[in-house]
Amino acid sequence: MEDEKASRAGTSPLPGALEHGDKADENRDGTKESTSTTESQGKLFAQMRHNQFAKSCWKWITWTPKNCRWDPESPPKFSMGLNLLFGFAGTFTVANLYYNHPILNILAKEFNVTDERASLVPTLMQAGYATGLLFLCPLGDIFRRRAFVLILVFFTATIWLGLCITKSFSVFLALSFLTAVSTVTPQLMLPLVGDLAPPHKRAMSLSIVVSGLLLGMLIARLLSGILTQYTSWRSIYWFSFGMQYLIFILLFWFMPDYPSTNPGGLNYFKMLWSIVKMLDNVDVFVEFYTIQLLSRHHRSLCTRRHWSDVLRTILL
State the pTM of this model: 0.74
Sequence-ordered alpha helix ranges (H) in the chain: 2-11, 15-50, 52-62, 80-94, 104-111, 115-118, 120-135, 145-165, 169-181, 185-196, 202-230, 233-254, 268-281, 283-315
Is residue 258 very low, low, confident or very high in pLDDT (cuts 50, 70, 90)?
A: confident
DSSP 282: -
Is residue 8 very low, low, confident or very high in pLDDT (cuts 50, 70, 90)?
A: very low
Q: Domain ranges for the chain, please list them.
A: 79-278, 282-316
Is residue 72 very low, low, confident or very high in pLDDT (cuts 50, 70, 90)?
A: confident
Is the pLDDT confidence value at 245 over 70? yes
Residues 121 and 107: beta-carbon distance below 8 Å: yes
pLDDT tens per residue, range 16-66? 444 445 544 544 554 444 444 445 544 444 454 456 776 777 677 778 888
Looking at per-residue pLDDT, the higher value among 182 and 144 belongs to 182
pLDDT tens per residue, range 115-146? 999 999 999 999 999 999 999 998 888 888 89
Looking at per-residue pLDDT, the higher value among 314 and 69 belongs to 69
User: What fold, for 79-278?
Assistant: Growth Hormone; Chain: A; (1.20.1250)
* Alpha-carbon span 104 to 31, nearest angstrom: 62
First CA to last CA distance, the chain = 123
pLDDT tens per residue, range 77-117? 899 999 999 999 999 999 999 999 999 999 999 999 999 99
Q: Which residues contact 146 (CB under 8 A, 6 or more apart)?
A: 64, 68, 255, 256, 257, 258
Cβ atoms within 10 Å of 39's Cβ, excluding its own: 10
